Structure 1
Amino acid sequence: MAKLAHIWRHPIKSHGHEAVERASLKPGQGLPMDRVWAVIHASSAVDAAAPVWASCRNFVIGADVAGLGAISAATGVDGRITLRHPSLAAIALDLDDAADQARLLDWSQPLIPAARPKATNVVRLQTHGVFDTDFASISLNNLASLAALSAKAGQMMDMRRFRGNLWIEGLEPWAEHGWPGRQLRIGAASFEVVEPIARCAATTVNPETALADVETPYLLRKHWGHRDFGVYLRVIAAGDIALNDELVLL
C-alpha cells in the first residue's frame, strides 16, 4: 500500500523547510503556508508594490544561493516564522510587518554571494503562492525514487534537497512518472497529476552543510535520460490529508 510518509511546507520561498503532520487542502490553492512569501532581488522584474507571479529567476532562490539550502523554518501559533541556519543566529519574524521584512533581508544577506544581485524586498502574492508553476501546485515525490537516485549518487540523499511537499512510501521507483493526466486521492483530498518536475542546481545542495555535493541533474540525465524528479499536483477536491493516509490512483 502506498501511503503519505512526510509533509513539508516552505513558508518563504527557498528560505526554510518545515515538517507538518496534516493539512487542509482546497482547490485553487497549494499546501497552506507553503511559499506564501518570497524575496526578490535587484535584477528582478517583479514590482514589489504590486507583485504578480513570475518565473523563479526573479527571486532569491537556492539554485543561485546555495547557503539558503540549510535554512529551517518553524511557524508558531501566532504566525511568526522562526528561521535557523548553522552559521547564523536564529530569527523570529512577522512577515506582514515591514520592519521584520527588512530584518529578513539583513539576516539572509551574508548567505548571498557578492556576484549575485542583492536581496531588495519581501513580497506576497494576492492570488496563489510563489510557486515555480504558474498555477497553485503541490509537489509529490517518491521515497523509492529517492533511494534509486541515492544509489547512483553513492550516498543517501536528504529529501529536503528537493523542497517537496508530499513524500510517498510503498511505491516502485519512478512509478509517479507515469501519472501525469491521471487523478489520485490522498486522505479526503483529490488531485490531478499535472506534469513532472524538472530539477535544477538547488538539489545539488546538502541541507545539513549548505554545500553542493551531488550533481543531481547530471545523475538524472545520465541514468534516466531526463532531469525529472517528482510530479506537480493540482487540488481538485477539498479535504484533509495526514501522515499515513493511503494514496489511491483513480
Structure 2
Amino acid sequence: MPIVSGLYRFPVKGLSPQSMSSVTVAAGQPFPMDRIFALARPGTSINSRNPSWAKKSKFVMLMLDQQLAEIQTEINLDTLELSIRKNNELLFKLNLGDQTGKLALERFIQNLIPSLNESPRFIQSIDGHFMDKPNNLISLINLETLRMIEKKWGANIDPLRFRANIYIDNVEPWSEFNWVGRDISVGSGVFNVDSRNGRCGATNVNPKNGRRDLNIPGSLRRTFGHKELGVYLVAKSKVYLAVGDYFNVPDIPIIEFAQPNFQEPSLNSFICKGCYFIYDEKIGCANSGVKPGTKFGEIQKSWLCPDCGASKLSFEKFHLN
C-alpha cells in the first residue's frame, strides 16, 4: 500500500522547498502556502499590485535560472522573515513584509543571475498560487518510479529535482499513471488524479549545486516515448495528510512503463529549449491558432510557446536522438 514519505511546499516560486510533517488541504484548493510568492521577470506585464496567475516564463525560476539552486532559502510564513544561505553559510536575513526587505531580495536575485539586466519584482498571488498550471493542482511523485528510472539510466536522481508536494513510496513503478481519472484516498479525504505531469528543463538542474547535469525530459522521451513523470491531484474533499499515512489506490493492472501512444514527430519539428514542447509543422498548434502544415518560419514572431509562454526564439530544430 502506498505510503506518504515526504510533504513539501515551495513558498517562493523557484526558491528552496520546506518540508512538512503534516498538512490539511481544503476541497478544491491548492497545496497550502505553496508558490504563493514569486519574482516576476523584468519587462513582464504582470501587475505588481494585483498579480494573477501567468505562465512560468514570466517568472524567475529554475527552468531559465539555474543559479537559484546555488542558494538555500527559508521563510517564516508568520513573520515573513527570509533567510538566505550559500554553501550553508548565512548571507543575510530580510523581512518580506516591508518594502526595504523586498527591494533587498530583488537586488540580490538580479546580482545572482547574470541574464537579468534589471531587478525582478517580488509579488504575492491573489489567486492562491503561482504553480505552473492555473488549476489548483497538487503534484505527486512515486519514488519507486524514480528508482526504476535511476536503475535504467545508471544515475542518481535527487527527488527534489521534481519539486513535488507529495512523495509516495511502497507502490509499483508507473502505477500512478493508471490512476489518472480515478480517486485515491487517505483517511476520510479523497483526491482525484487529474493528469500526468510533463517535465520541463527545471528538472535538469541539480538542486544541490545549480548545475544542469542531467537531461530529464529528453531522456524520458528517448527511453519511454514521453516526458512525463508524476501526476497532478485535485482535492475532492478536505484532506489531512501526514508523513507515514497510507493511500488507498485503485487495484488495476499496470501497463509496463506506462507508455502512451507516442508518434515520433516529423522531420520538420522544433522544440522549446525550456519546457521541451514540440511544434510539428505537420500538426500545427490548434491551441494557438496555427494551422496544420504551417512552417515554423511562417509563424509570427510574437508567437509564444503554448506550454510555458517562452518566445519563439527559445525553439530549436528537434532531433529525437
The two structures have a TM-score, normalised by structure 1, of 0.92
Once residues 97 and 183 of structure 1 are traced to their aligned partners in structure 2, the CA distance between those partners, rounded to angstroms, is 43
Structure 1 gaps of 5+ residues are none
Change (3 A) 1:118 1:201: farther
* Deviation of the 1:111 alpha carbon: 2.6
Match in the other structure for 1:130: 130
Match in the other structure for 2:224: 224
Match in the other structure for 1:80: 81
* Deviation of the 1:122 alpha carbon: 1.0
Once residues 247 and 36 of structure 1 are traced to their aligned partners in structure 2, the CA distance between those partners, rounded to angstroms, is 27
Once residues 237 and 65 of structure 1 are traced to their aligned partners in structure 2, the CA distance between those partners, rounded to angstroms, is 36
List per-residue Cα deviations over 1:143-183 (Å, max 9, x = no partner).
01111222244221111111111000011111111122111
Match in the other structure for 1:107: 108
Once residues 91 and 33 of structure 2 are traced to their aligned partners in structure 1, the CA distance between those partners, rounded to angstroms, is 20
Deviating more after overlay: 161-170 vs 70-79: 70-79
Once residues 71 and 31 of structure 2 are traced to their aligned partners in structure 1, the CA distance between those partners, rounded to angstroms, is 19
2:95 maps to amino acid: D
1:108 maps to amino acid: I
Match in the other structure for 2:61: 61
Once residues 60 and 144 of structure 1 are traced to their aligned partners in structure 2, the CA distance between those partners, rounded to angstroms, is 31
Once residues 63 and 88 of structure 2 are traced to their aligned partners in structure 1, the CA distance between those partners, rounded to angstroms, is 19
* Deviation of the 1:188 alpha carbon: 4.1
2:22 pairs with 1:36: no
List per-residue Cα deviations over 1:82-136 (Å, max 9, x = no partner).
233339744434323222111211222233133x464421111112211111111
List per-residue Cα deviations over 1:38-78 (Å, max 9, x = no partner).
00011323111221111111111100001113443334354
1:197 maps to amino acid: N
Match in the other structure for 2:264: none
Q: Is the 8 A contact 2:185 2:248 kept in 1?
A: yes
Match in the other structure for 2:171: 171
The two structures have a TM-score, normalised by structure 2, of 0.73
2:20 pairs with 1:8: no
Once residues 36 and 162 of structure 2 are traced to their aligned partners in structure 1, the CA distance between those partners, rounded to angstroms, is 18
Q: Is the 8 A contact 1:144 1:169 kept in 2?
A: yes
* Deviation of the 1:187 alpha carbon: 3.9
Higher Cα radius of gyration = 2
Structure 2 gaps of 5+ residues are 251-321
Deviating more after overlay: 87-96 vs 166-175: 87-96
SS at match of 1:249: coil
Q: Is the 8 A contact 1:40 1:119 kept in 2?
A: no
Match in the other structure for 2:143: 143
Match in the other structure for 1:207: 207
SS at match of 1:241: strand
* Deviation of the 1:79 alpha carbon: 4.2
SS at match of 2:231: strand
Q: Is the 8 A contact 1:196 1:231 kept in 2?
A: yes
Aligned-residue RMSD, C-alpha: 1.9
Once residues 92 and 50 of structure 1 are traced to their aligned partners in structure 2, the CA distance between those partners, rounded to angstroms, is 26
Change (3 A) 1:94 1:192: farther
Once residues 127 and 25 of structure 1 are traced to their aligned partners in structure 2, the CA distance between those partners, rounded to angstroms, is 16
Once residues 153 and 100 of structure 2 are traced to their aligned partners in structure 1, the CA distance between those partners, rounded to angstroms, is 43
Once residues 117 and 220 of structure 1 are traced to their aligned partners in structure 2, the CA distance between those partners, rounded to angstroms, is 34
SS at match of 1:31: coil
Match in the other structure for 2:313: none
Change (3 A) 1:127 1:113: same
Q: Is the 8 A contact 1:43 1:117 kept in 2?
A: no
Once residues 92 and 20 of structure 1 are traced to their aligned partners in structure 2, the CA distance between those partners, rounded to angstroms, is 22
SS at match of 1:168: strand
Once residues 30 and 85 of structure 2 are traced to their aligned partners in structure 1, the CA distance between those partners, rounded to angstroms, is 24
* Deviation of the 1:236 alpha carbon: 1.3
Q: Which has the higher contact order (CA 8 A, sep 6+)?
A: 1
